Structures are given as structure tokens and as C-alpha cells.
Amino acid sequence: MLKGKNVIDSYVFKEEDMSTSGFPNQNLIVGWVLRTIAIPNINPHQIMKTTQALTKQAITKKEEKKAVAPISEAKELELEKVPASEIKRPVAVGWVKEEGMKSNQELEDEKRHAFQERMKYIKEEKRTQTDQQTPSTLKTTKSLPPIPKGEGVESSNFCPNCGKDLDWKFCPYCGKPLPH
């Protein structure tokens, strides 16, 4: 780290602190700068932006050096064309039906068959759903007792107000009329 022409501090990062680009992790650089410079209320975000700009510039310069190679070291290569007689490819003679290729009629038959299978499955599903939704009745040979009907209901001798058992027209205890 420089201040003008004076070196304030320097630090060599370890290999495990390096990223894939060959430069140290920018968060580590920002942390080192904040520890080194003891300025209160310094903006870490601005330090991060400056670090990113410097790292980007260093990476582009490094790539430019890789791209430029001296002409003396570069070899000239020419691709040789292989003559057609050297290329060995099987030649089909006559009419040949390729395996795996199906005619249009075969494709249509296959689609039709698949559609029919799918429709069978859908119809079966609908049939089972309707069977499950309809109520089922059980038929037994055993004779069951009849269910009593609501006919012939006896009138009550109880007072609905106080609950006493009476044969009177009026309840002698509470004086209200009885419903029978």
C-alpha cells in the first residue's frame, strides 16, 4: 500500500487465499486495508469498488500478455487435405431400408394403436370412478326385523313445563294446560 511515493505497508497473501484468477480474494484485501489504515468512518464499500477496479485491470493486463506471443516462437501450421479416396465410408448400393427408420404408414399405425390404448385406459378409469360414486346396496337372505314407523304415537301424560306425570287437562303444580 502506497501513500504518494512512500510505502505504508505490504502483505503477501497465502496460496489458499488466492482465487481461480490468481489474485487474492477481494474481501481479504478490503479487510487488510481497513486494518492497515486507521481512519475513522472510512467507507468499506468504496474500498471494495476500488479493489474490484484494480483487480479487473490487473486481470485484463495479464490476459493481454498471454495473448501476445513473439512471432519467432509461433509455428506456422497448415492443415493437409485428405483425399476423398482415403476417406473410407460405407457406400449403399441399391435400395436399402435403414434400421430404426419407419415408414409413414408404420408411424400412423403406431400412433393409432397408442391412442386406442390410452382411450381404453381412460374409459376404465371413468368406469371405476362412477362405480365408486354410486351407493351400493347389500342383499341378504337373512330376515331382518322391521323398522318401527312413526304411526300410532301415544300422547304423553307428562307436563312439558315441569315434567310431572299427570292425567289432567291442567298441571296442578304449575297450572299450565297439558298438550293431550
Q: Indicate the DSSP class of residue 46.
A: H
Quote the pTM value.
0.35
Predicted local distance difference test score (pLDDT) of residue 152: 56
pLDDT tens for 56-87 read 898 888 877 776 656 666 666 677 777 777 77
- Which residue type occupies 79? L
Domain locations along the chain: 2-65
**Mean pLDDT value across residues 134-160:** 67
Cell of 126: 371413468
Cell of 129: 370412478
Strands 6-7 and 2-3: antiparallel
User: Which residues, listed in sequence order, are joined to residue 158 by a DSSP beta bridge?
Assistant: 165
